[in-house]
């Protein structure tokens, strides 16, 4: 069997930014600042995309000012492929702590033979999105206040790519759910979660294979996902599904 091909890190980074759109963005000398009322670090952080011309210390201070104007804490998201060493070191010296190291993993869908489970259902339309949101918050044990709930819905509604809101049902109960977003030749998988009381029963694999089947039917070449490095259970599952790490990112926050 031929070795699977992989997309470039910049292609996956582009797709992942599209798949989780902020409410507002600001390009600042090669850095992308994103704002979404404080809901999730991904949508409320600065990501260096390419080298700029401004003084680094002044640029960091400029970003801090941008976020404080929005009454948000300054957070920096640093992808490993963007050579963030100097930025990372400067932030550490300013007292920023490194948190939430994340592995960005990909797989070549030409080697994927997954099939959608009969227990997996795609929820269409606006009502489907709202129903999926309710299931996600219930399964994750989160209870966002109204402002965060509205922001989450707005972020999902602003996704331009084709979306798949999927739930896995057993005996009339939603035991797992996940989201997939298509972006031309790649599909991202997000918020895949299994109810705590139903874990280690194969439902995570069943959900992931169903989402991958949807990705194949979108004629995508690659699937990708983001998983916390500390989440060993999920990393082991994704390895069995033939995902491999492409790059990492982490956050720096005060």
Rounded to an integer, what distance in angstroms lies between the CA atom of residue 168 and that of residue 97?
37
Q: Which CATH architecture has domain 107-246?
A: 3-Layer(aba) Sandwich (3.40)
125-140 vs 146-157: helix axis angle to the nearest 10? 130
pLDDT tier, 51 (very low <50, low <70, confident <90, very high otherwise): confident
Question: The pTM is what?
Answer: 0.92
Average pLDDT over residues 195-201: 90
Residue 114: its pLDDT value, please?
A: 79
Is pLDDT of 145 > 80? no
Is pLDDT of 136 > 90? yes
Q: How much is the mean pLDDT over the chain? A: 93
The DSSP bridge pattern shows strands 222-228 and 186-194 to be parallel
Residue 218: its pLDDT value, please?
A: 95
pLDDT tier, 115 (very low <50, low <70, confident <90, very high otherwise): confident
Contact between residue 52 and residue 74 where contact means Cβ atoms under 8 Å apart: no
- Residue 9 has a CB neighbour count (10 Å cut-off) of 18
Is pLDDT of 174 > 70? yes
Is pLDDT of 227 > 80? yes
Is pLDDT of 146 > 70? no
Rounded to an integer, what distance in angstroms lies between the CA atom of residue 155 and that of residue 149?
10
The domain ranges of the chain are: 9-103, 107-246
Contact between residue 96 and residue 64 where contact means Cβ atoms under 8 Å apart: no
Q: Which of 9-13, 35-39, 49-53, 178-182 has the lowest mean pLDDT?
A: 49-53
pLDDT tier, 67 (very low <50, low <70, confident <90, very high otherwise): very high
Rounded to an integer, what distance in angstroms lies between the CA atom of residue 162 and that of residue 152?
17
Is pLDDT of 158 > 70? yes
Average pLDDT over residues 85-114: 94
Percent of the chain with pLDDT over 90: 84
């Amino acid at each position: 069997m031929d070795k699977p091909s992989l997309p470039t890190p910049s292609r996956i980074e582009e797709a992942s930014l599209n798949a989780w759109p902020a409410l507002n963005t600001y390009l600042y000398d090669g850095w992308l600042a994103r704002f979404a009322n404080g809901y999730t670090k991904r949508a409320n952080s600065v990501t260096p995309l390419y080298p700029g011309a401004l003084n680094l210390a002044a640029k960091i201070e400029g970003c801090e000012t941008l976020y404080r104007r929005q009454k948000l804490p300054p957070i920096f998201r640093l992808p490993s492929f963007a050579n963030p060493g100097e930025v990372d070191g400067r932030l550490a010296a300013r007292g920023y702590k490194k948190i939430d190291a994340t592995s960005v993993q990909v797989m070549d869908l030409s080697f994927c033979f997954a099939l959608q489970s009969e227990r997996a259902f795609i929820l269409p339309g606006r009502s489907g999105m709202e129903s999926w949101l309710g299931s996600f918050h219930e399964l994750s044990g989160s209870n966002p206040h109204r402002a965060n709930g509205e922001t989450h819905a707005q972020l999902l509604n602003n996704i331009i790519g084709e979306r798949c809101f999927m739930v896995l049902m057993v005996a009339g109960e939603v035991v797992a759910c996940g989201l997939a977003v298509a972006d031309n030749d790649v599909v991202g998988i997000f918020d895949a979660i299994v109810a705590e009381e139903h874990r280690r029963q194969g439902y995570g694999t069943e959900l992931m294979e169903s989402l991958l089947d949807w990705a194949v039917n979108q004629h995508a070449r690659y699937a990708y996902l983001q998983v916390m490095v500390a989440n060993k259970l999920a990393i082991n599952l994704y390895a069995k599904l033939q995902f491999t790490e492409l790059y990492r990112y982490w956050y720096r926050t005060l």
